[in-house]
Structure 1
């Protein structure tokens, strides 16, 4: 009888004994690509929850599968939540890729491999005409535009995705499990094309640690600010958040400004501006908007636009800097709406002409695109916008951008509420780039 009781007790306790053992998580997940900024390269990033090797096996589409192999490394990321959850972020940079060639790949180790994905190596020609999808403020809950973006990406409509801040809502929540789930959600986009990012206010918890650890951007700033080239465009990603989270270091404002001015100076060298005439910036919080929510961009003295006078020394804003170096197009998010502005500087409109406002404009063009979908829903607009507001929509959606050539750039807004209808579009045409274009 005692033996029977012992067996009975063991069988009843067995599930609890099994549950008490830590699981083995060596399977790669959350796979995503980014462009390191070097022609012929691509970076693959993924997550495991146990330490494993970091390997990408790949080969040309139609060739021998996994003919090539590259090793990388992993870093331990411990979330700062109560559970102190640990994960390993793996990074492998592939080099020597043939421009425009399509590669099939998987990543992981002999302890577990990812699904098989593919990507097309970016064309490194200055005559390349890249196509982008761009948006901000995409969440784990209510990611309304995600399905359409997934389908269009896998239909090869885009060369690059620009996510202009605010991910998951929020990556740190539930001890970073929301971040894990969001990265799994975007894998069906980000494992196929470079997914280029900048930080937003929703990444600020624990000093942006989830953002800085999960994404792999060019440069040595953990993705806070960086630049890269594609086709005839020089693209600059910045952190607007340095103006708002001073507890993380006021010096970040000045470090970014110093880097940004040097980068703009370099981009404006005549030999550089001749081959990459378009300068495009992306940052989360806009300088201008007409939303009815009292955010920074609704105020005339916006920190991002005009700077802060309560720091020592006072911190300059970005509008004069961008104008001085002839930035052509400024991409923003944060407001859960879409808004296209007339060319604007100093709160005044500087259209090319009344008939053709975006042909040879006399100031930068601003686009706000933060309505991809999140749990905070869309925002409302001020019923009386200023003169610089050209078109507004509260539909869920995202923006497409095509850098056609050195003089022509096309933008259109897609409404997911209206089944993918293009509800706004413009051609930005510039016969001259740089500061002299404003004269």
Structure 2
């Protein structure tokens, strides 16, 4: 099957020729799915031209797509090279295989229908697995590859022929129901750093957005074999907030670090807000920033560690925060996120969904060499009391480009039960998926609450696999991308009534 991608087309033709080159004004790329409750699915894709009525044809058999769903959502933003099209399909059967195609692909013989499976109904006790990545960037010529620019350790590159994380996820996608990516998506904001280090050719600051958008398109094209068939649930990270990795230093022109060079449309999570649709409407959340959903015996919660912490705290990506990205707030109601989070956790039916799993981009427990610049203590102050109060089972994070599995913890105190029916939440940080800069260093000796760690010394990129066996047992695996080997495994037991 011939596949056209935005990235390949951008490379093949000049930007001025894009409109002429786009057959029928649209070329499919970057298909991605997201759950919209147990009986719904968001289908999103990108085109070079605005669609008046984005439409998806779908059905229960591949040769009879006899149902349609449409919307009027075909949106773009300044400096974007494409339009983001979003269609919500409703009234589906839970845990059911459907076939689908956006309408303008029906007449292209090179495209066969894609497929997706809807969410498992809440309470279904059948075993399932979920893949989790954090801090996953573009692979190849504009990201993580076998070479790098000046100043990056050789330990932070791929070996010749090494399978990267995106390729690993594609290889093992039959073994997980959906992919969860809580922040730092694509790392397009590394474009200037990559140019300064000689990894990418230099361009003018005014034309830098072409490089930024090209990296984004590369990443979403690379992800399409996965996201076209598996729901891709995302959360916000700091690298979605801005275009230039937090600031720009131009000593020649005396431009300080905290003056952004970002073009209009590349600040305040603009690309992230346009590119995705998450089930916030279905769960009472806000945009792509905080939401929840049920899947089988598990309640999944995505929180926003970057903005909207409330309670008088300045979030890391808000004006005055440690990243100073001038992002948010995305809900003007006082303490909106934590009020929502408490209400959401309070109404979880622990008989139907005994497991409660939360992800947020930034950690607050970590053995990190640069802990002061990585750990989010304000996030701990805001979120941890609610996690303890409502018996959250597992908290996942990234931000630090390492892997560390910790003990269950409450207010910094190790739960003496360990993984054998603890009362405190279990914490795991896995930001080792891979991007241009590679991996970070852990602090040695590891903190007393740490149980296993991998960092730049191990030269191993990887992802997490969560397997929910039944109502009492759940296993976390660290899967090495290059080999598929499980380098760390631990099982949490909870005594359920």
Q: TM-score interval w.r.t. the shorter chain? A: 0.7 to 0.9
Q: Offset of 1:375 from its aligned partner? A: 0.4
In structure 2, what is the equivalent of residue 10 of structure 1?
A: none
2:179 alignment partner, SS class = strand
Q: Does 1:162 align with 2:161?
A: no
2:270 alignment partner, SS class = helix
Q: Does 1:388 align with 2:383?
A: no
In structure 2, what is the equivalent of residue 401 of structure 1?
A: 466
Distance 1:109 1:161 in 2: 27
**Contact residue 288 and residue 297 of structure 1 kept, 8 A:** no
Q: Deviations over 1:9-39 (max 9, x none)?
A: xxxxxx99x95975444112110000012x2
2:82 alignment partner, SS class = strand
1:246 alignment partner, SS class = coil
Give RMSD over aligned pairs: 2.6
Q: Does 1:145 align with 2:165?
A: yes
Q: How does 1:30-109 map to 2 (within 5 A)?
A: 30-37=30-37, 39-52=38-51, 53-61=53-61, 64-79=63-78, 84-109=79-104
**Contact residue 397 and residue 428 of structure 2 kept, 8 A:** yes
Q: How does 1:118-129 map to 2 (within 5 A)?
A: 118-128=115-125, 129=127
Q: 1:175/1:142 Cα in 2 relative to 1: closer, same or farther (>3 Å)? A: closer
In structure 2, what is the equivalent of residue 29 of structure 1?
A: 29
2:362 to 279, 285, 292: 285
Q: Offset of 1:260 from its aligned partner? A: 3.3
In structure 1, what is the equivalent of residue 130 of structure 2?
A: 132
Distance 1:150 1:20 in 2: 29
Distance 1:22 1:295 in 2: 51
Q: Deviations over 1:300-330 (max 9, x none)?
A: x722213xxxxxxxxxx22222212221110
Distance 1:415 1:322 in 2: 29
Q: 1:346/1:296 Cα in 2 relative to 1: closer, same or farther (>3 Å)? A: farther
2:351 alignment partner, SS class = helix
Q: 1:343/1:291 Cα in 2 relative to 1: closer, same or farther (>3 Å)? A: same
Q: How does 1:338-357 map to 2 (within 5 A)?
A: 338-352=403-417, 357=418
Distance 2:76 2:211 in 1: 16
Distance 2:415 2:94 in 1: 39
Q: Offset of 1:116 from its aligned partner? A: 2.8
**Contact residue 19 and residue 48 of structure 2 kept, 8 A:** no
**Contact residue 302 and residue 359 of structure 2 kept, 8 A:** yes
Q: 1:275/1:240 Cα in 2 relative to 1: closer, same or farther (>3 Å)? A: same
Q: Deviations over 1:180-204 (max 9, x none)?
A: 2211111111111110000101001
In structure 1, what is the equivalent of residue 200 of structure 2?
A: none
1:223 alignment partner, SS class = coil
Q: Offset of 1:430 from its aligned partner? A: 0.9
Distance 1:327 1:27 in 2: 43
Q: Offset of 1:402 from its aligned partner? A: 1.3
Distance 2:342 2:305 in 1: 17
In structure 2, what is the equivalent of residue 305 of structure 1?
A: 380
Distance 1:389 1:88 in 2: 45
Q: Deviations over 1:113-159 (max 9, x none)?
A: 66531112222141243310001111112272111101111xx2111
Q: Offset of 1:112 from its aligned partner? A: 6.7
Can you give the 5+ residue segments of structure 1 that lack an aligned partner in the other structure? 1-14, 307-316, 434-439
Q: Offset of 1:98 from its aligned partner? A: 2.5
Distance 1:173 1:401 in 2: 37
Q: 1:253/1:388 Cα in 2 relative to 1: closer, same or farther (>3 Å)? A: farther
Q: Offset of 1:110 from its aligned partner? A: 6.8
Q: Offset of 1:70 from its aligned partner? A: 1.8
Q: Offset of 1:44 from its aligned partner? A: 0.4
Q: Give the number of equivalent residue pairs.
A: 392
The structure with more radius of gyration:
1
2:392 alignment partner, SS class = coil
In structure 1, what is the equivalent of residue 259 of structure 2?
A: none
Distance 2:237 2:484 in 1: 26
Distance 1:257 1:430 in 2: 32
**Contact residue 305 and residue 318 of structure 1 kept, 8 A:** yes
Distance 2:462 2:18 in 1: 45
2:492 alignment partner, SS class = strand
2:219 to 175, 182, 186: 182
Larger relative strand fraction? 1
1:197 to 213, 231, 234: 234
Distance 1:77 1:139 in 2: 22
Q: Offset of 1:59 from its aligned partner? A: 1.9
**Contact residue 35 and residue 118 of structure 2 kept, 8 A:** no
1:399 alignment partner, SS class = strand
2:434 alignment partner, SS class = coil
* Stretch of structure 1 that moved more, 255-264 or 99-108: 255-264
- Tell me the TM-score normalised to structure 1 length: 0.82
1:210 to 252, 258, 271: 271
